[in-house]
Amino acid sequence: MHPESLMMSYGYNSESFERAVKCPIFQTSTFTFKTAEEGKAFFEIAYGLREKLSNENLGYIYSRIDNPNLKILEKRLSLWDKTEDCAVFESGMAAISTVLLEFLNPGDLLVYSNPVYGGTDHFINTFLPKMGIHTLGVHPDESKEKIIELINASGKADKLALIYLETPANPTNEIVDIETYSSIATHFSSNEKKVLCTVDNTYMGPLWQHPLQFGADLIIYSATKYIGGHSDLIAGAVLGNSDLMIRIKTLRTFLGNMLNPNTAWLLMRSLETLKVRMDQQTKNAQQVAQFLKEHSAIEKVNYLGLLDKNTEAYKIYKKQCTAPGAMISFDIKGSEKEAFKFLNKLKLIKLAVSLGGTESLAEHPITMTHAGVDAEHRKKMGITDTLIRLSIGVENPIDIINDLKQALQD
Ligand SMILES: *Cc1c(COP(=O)(O)O)cnc(C)c1O
């Protein structure tokens, strides 16, 4: 069956819970062992003292290690990207920092595609160097040969451990070819060492892009965005094959940054409507982008659905994505003054950061989400005083367009 058909029941056995249609919230810190022998066996496995036997069916110990709401949510999330396992976290940043801490050691090199989410950028460039980790930012318009050359020139090629990508890039929708970067990871891998390729798929997933199909090893989400989808919670997730996920789940146990049962339950509720929400959001965004493109007060629209068919970006988009998404950015004619005037006049569309929720949001990247990014870098990324970012929601597209129309009027 398709994931959207399984989101209401997968992984939950109502027979065990008074035949309740909906999975209860397991608001408990600890779980009873049937016998002392069972307790001993649980801890042997949890601490890696021995392998789990194939016929061994272990229950729960303690909610920092695992909890039924987390487990069912993880099973359901795995269906969309067809991964073996998933780990859910208290935030997207908790998911990202745990992956980076688990797979990078002092002296290692991390290569990442610019631009990445502001929090990720800060963690990579402020925190990781304190741990003795070297970082190298590359740009989407650099060729595979050029990136290999840059890695070799860094003098740390033999210490390359991880490639970190985010595509399409926030806020300009610049697209990165996952296949190219995973082949670079393979290029620098050896029998002793596999270089991993991870993708922050928050902008497009889990519906419109499946990075494992293009050679990525791990997928990361801020579940605060489309997965949660109602701007009412903070959460994160990492997905991949079991051998890598066991390491992530083990570090999660000791950092204690797992998701709580209440939020896991809310996300299970969100997943039931994930497909209908995201389908409607991308349909709306296509109409909004077309309207903006034709408007005389607008200089330029960045939207995957409007890419010129003769460009390299279009080819990658067609290969990698199943829909153009619901994130649009555009340059309004004029200066910061015109941009602010427009933002202040919006009525239906809310002036706020974040994205992926049921309501449409607008923000000004250069003074808000990207205020901390170095000016030279912002210029290279096309983040100008006149750039506005929109996250399109599930409202009637006529109302969204009418709101934009009145806000663009003199
Ligand atoms: C929001 C966001 C994050 C951070 O997630 P939180 O849930 O806020 O911690 C990471 N990456 C991207 C692309 C995001 O949009």
DSSP line for 120-151: HHHIIIIIGGGGT-EEEEE-TTS-HHHHHHHH
Q: Ligand 1 mean position to 154 CA, how many Å?
A: 29
Residue with the two structure tokens 């697209």: 175
What is the per-residue DSSP string for 196-236? Answer: EEEEE-TTTTTTSB-GGGGT-SEEEEETTTTTT-SSS---E
What are the tokens at 269? 């509720």
What are the tokens at 168? 């399409």
Within the chain, all domains assigned CATH 3.40.640.10 are found at 3-271
Q: Give the model's confidence band at 59: pLDDT under 50 very low, under 70 low, under 90 confident, else very high.
A: confident
- Distance of alpha carbon 156 from alpha carbon 387, whole angstroms: 37
In the structure, which protein residues have their CB atom closer than 6 angstroms to any atom of ligand 1? 91-93, 117, 119-120, 166, 170, 200, 202-203, 222, 224-225, 234, 236
pLDDT at 48 over 80: no
| Three-state DSSP state, 12 | coil
Position 52 scores a pLDDT of 84
Position 114 scores a pLDDT of 87
Nearest-10 crossing angle of helices 261-272, 274-294:
70
CA-203 nearest atom, ligand 1: 13
H helix runs in 7-91, sequence order: 36-46, 68-81
Angle (CA) 27-32-33 rounded to 5° is 145
Strand order in the sheet with 236-240: 85-89, 236-240, 218-222, 196-200, 160-166, 109-113, 134-138
pLDDT at 377 over 90: no
Q: Give the model's confidence band at 210: pLDDT under 50 very low, under 70 low, under 90 confident, else very high.
A: very high
pLDDT at 329 over 90: yes
Q: Which residue out of 225, 233, 266 has the highest number of ligand 1 atoms within 8 Å of its CB and is therefore the one to mutate? A: 225
Position 287 scores a pLDDT of 98
What are the tokens at 150? 């840059």
Neighbours of 234 (CB within 10 A): 17
What digits encode the pLDDT tens for the residues 64-79? 999 999 999 999 999 9
- Distance of alpha carbon 207 from alpha carbon 81, whole angstroms: 8
Position 115 scores a pLDDT of 86
What digits encode the pLDDT tens for the residues 237-285? 999 999 999 999 999 999 999 999 999 999 999 999 999 999 999 999 9
Question: What is the average pLDDT value for the chain, to the nearest integer?
Answer: 95
- Higher pLDDT among residues 141 and 230, named by residue: 230
pLDDT at 16 over 90: no
What digits encode the pLDDT tens for the residues 152-196? 999 999 999 999 999 999 899 999 999 999 999 999 999 999 999
Q: Give the model's confidence band at 373: pLDDT under 50 very low, under 70 low, under 90 confident, else very high.
A: confident
- Distance of alpha carbon 61 from alpha carbon 33, whole angstroms: 8
Non-local (6+) Cβ contacts of 218 within 8 A are 99, 196, 197, 198, 199, 238, 239, 240, 244, 248
Q: Which residue out of 88, 100, 112, 117 has the highest number of ligand 1 atoms within 8 Å of its CB and is therefore the one to mutate? A: 117
Position 140 scores a pLDDT of 82
What are the tokens at 33? 């062992």
Nearest CA to ligand 1 atom 8: 92
Q: Please tell us whether the domain made up of 274-408 is placed in CATH 3.90.1150.10.
A: yes
| Three-state DSSP state, 267 | helix
Q: Give the model's confidence band at 410: pLDDT under 50 very low, under 70 low, under 90 confident, else very high.
A: confident
- Distance of alpha carbon 92 from alpha carbon 167, whole angstroms: 15
Position 56 scores a pLDDT of 84
CA quadruple 156, 101, 92, 339: dihedral sign: negative
Position 141 scores a pLDDT of 83
For the range 93-96, what are the long-range contacts, defined as Cβ-Cβ under 8 Å and sequence gap of 24 or more? 93/119, 93/120, 93/123, 93/222, 93/236, 94/236, 94/255, 94/257, 95/220, 95/221, 95/222, 95/236, 95/237, 95/238, 96/120, 96/123, 96/200, 96/220, 96/236
Q: Give the model's confidence band at 55: pLDDT under 50 very low, under 70 low, under 90 confident, else very high.
A: confident
Q: Ligand 1 mean position to 222 CA, how many Å?
A: 4
pTM equals 0.96
CA 76 to chain centre: 16
Position 100 scores a pLDDT of 98
pLDDT at 46 over 80: no
Q: Ligand 1 mean position to 30 CA, how many Å?
A: 30
Q: Which residue out of 201, 224, 267, 391 has the highest number of ligand 1 atoms within 8 Å of its CB and is therefore the one to mutate? A: 224
Query: One-letter amino acid identity for 312?
Result: E
Q: Which residue out of 209, 222, 230, 270 has the highest number of ligand 1 atoms within 8 Å of its CB and is therefore the one to mutate? A: 222
Q: Please tell us whether the domain made up of 3-271 is placed in CATH 3.40.640.10.
A: yes
- Distance of alpha carbon 154 from alpha carbon 170, whole angstroms: 27
Q: Ligand 1 mean position to 117 CA, how many Å?
A: 7
Q: What percent of the chain has pLDDT over 70?
A: 100
Decide the pairing of beta strands 327-332 and 236-240.
unpaired
